[in-house]
Amino acid sequence: MKASKSWRSLMMKQHLLFDVGVCGAKMRQLPFMGVVCIIMLFIIYRTTNYQHQQTEMDSKFYPFYTLKDSGVGTSSLNALPHGIIEAKSDLELKPLWATSSSKSEVSVRSSYNLLAMPVGIKQKQNVDTIVQKFLSENFTIILFHYDGNLDGWRDLAWSREAIHIVAHNQTKWWFAKRFLHPAIVSIYDYIFLWDEDLGVEKFHPGRYLRIVKSEGFEISQPALDPNSTGIHHRITIRNRMKRFHRRVYDARGSTKCSDASEGPPCTGFVEGMAPVFSRSAWHCAWHLIQNDLVHGWGMDMKLGYCAQGDRTKKVGVVDSEYVVHQSIQTLGGSSARKVPKLEETVKRHTVDVRSEIRRQSTIELQTFTERWERAVKGDKRWVDPFPSTRRRKVRRNRSNSRRQSNV
């Protein structure tokens, strides 16, 4: 993008030189034309300069703000000198004053990674295990407390190193949309947006990242141990013989997966419970998360569009570092396939919470699908990078309905 911009400004300069040449020739013939030329030159200069400034400003903000869509225009910043605006931010806890140790830490750290997890106090022990693993690899930790219980965590040694956000009864996608804005997390190379009920005994974040980097996975997940509960797609199951895989082969079931498969759920697919995003992939995925749809249904099928290229290559499942999905029913989880087991609540209330959430999720899936289709129709410039999805529509429809009956 940068290249094309500077190319454009180069073109403008050439244009300007050309005009000067024309003006020079004309000036000898008609002195009056000289005045016109000077005015013209001035106008060209002003427009070019303005456009240049605008371009510079757009390119500075573009990665973080989608100006047109957010309703926040650059003009609201006109009173500030450009250089004062910091485009990036992070979630690091800063010391109140510079000590010698904080200085040395800055020089030591070459990469930053983030673990973000919705948590409830009932999962304290497992969350503790997960966080300790990630802390030993210098991850930054942000916890989203959906049950409102923060005090219960204070006794853990790492609690003060983590960032805690509390909001009652909110979902993972609600939190992620509001607190993981791409500008705020732009320092992190990889973002782990995980559920709290994953067993990490056989998972090492450092080794995982080495595989992800060497394979160029922009979106990935650790494989699920076959004894996990709640496996919805075969592609996520661990292959003992491999370090990682990009596709699954499965001749059974309604969705046949072979080398010919070009899209989800055979390839280019991860599930919502343990996705890992590169910086660019997260920038895209954050925009895909709908502000008002909180259950995230349907997102997994579209995440491949955020793979920064060919989803059959840039999306992968890591087998050598795997997790056990315990499928504990929590609200914070990736989707309402897992809904709180609120037996007491269910008895007390006449409304069944679980079926209500499931119903809402289904409605959201439909809304999301309709929005996607409307957006595709409305954007004439958009070309589906994965045109095969059109042919697969009928099959996907079937798998969608199977998914709905699964929950």
Ligand X SMILES: *[C@@H]1O[C@H](CO)[C@@H](O)[C@H](O)[C@H]1NC(C)=O
> Any idea what DSSP says for residue 406?
H
* Binding flags for ligand X, 87-126, as an x/- string (CB under 6 A): ------------------x--x------------------
Among 90, 137, 189, 215, binds ligand X (CB under 6 A): 137
Q: Which two tokens stand for residue 42?
A: 């001035």
Q: Which amino acid is at 175?
A: F
Characterize the bridge pairing of strands 244-245 and 140-145.
unpaired
Nearest approach in angstroms of CB 337 to ligand X is 17
Query: Residue 386: which of 295, 279, 306, 296 has the closest Cα?
Result: 306
Among 40, 41, 342, 407, binds ligand X (CB under 6 A): 342
Nearest approach in angstroms of CB 299 to ligand X is 18
Nearest approach in angstroms of CB 74 to ligand X is 38
Nearest approach in angstroms of CB 108 to ligand X is 5
Q: Is 343 in the site for ligand X (CB under 6 A)?
A: no
Nearest approach in angstroms of CB 171 to ligand X is 12
The residues facing 318 across adjacent strands are 222, 244
Q: Is 397 in the site for ligand X (CB under 6 A)?
A: yes
247 vs 325, beta carbon nearer ligand X? 325
Reduced to 3 states (helix: H, G, I; strand: E, B; else coil), residue 317 is strand
List all residues 6 or more positions away from 24 whose beta carbon is below 8 Å from its beta carbon: none
Using the contact rule CB under 6 A, the part of the chain among 47-55, 58-66, 240-248, 392-400 near ligand X is 392-400
The CA-based angle 267-270-274, given to 5 degrees, is 160
Query: Residue 166: which of 189, 186, 185, 143 has the closest Cα?
Result: 143
Q: Is 169 in the site for ligand X (CB under 6 A)?
A: yes
**Cβ distance 365 to 335 under 8 Å?**
no
**Cβ distance 295 to 357 under 8 Å?**
yes
* Cα-only R_g, the chain: 26
Q: Total residues contacting ligand X (rule CB under 6 A)?
A: 18
Using the contact rule CB under 6 A, the part of the chain among 1-9, 28-36, 259-267, 389-397 near ligand X is 389-397
Among 206, 239, 302, 346, binds ligand X (CB under 6 A): 206
- Where do contacts with ligand X occur on this chain (CB under 6 A)? 105, 108, 137-138, 168-169, 201, 206, 225, 227, 324, 342, 345, 353, 393-394, 397, 401
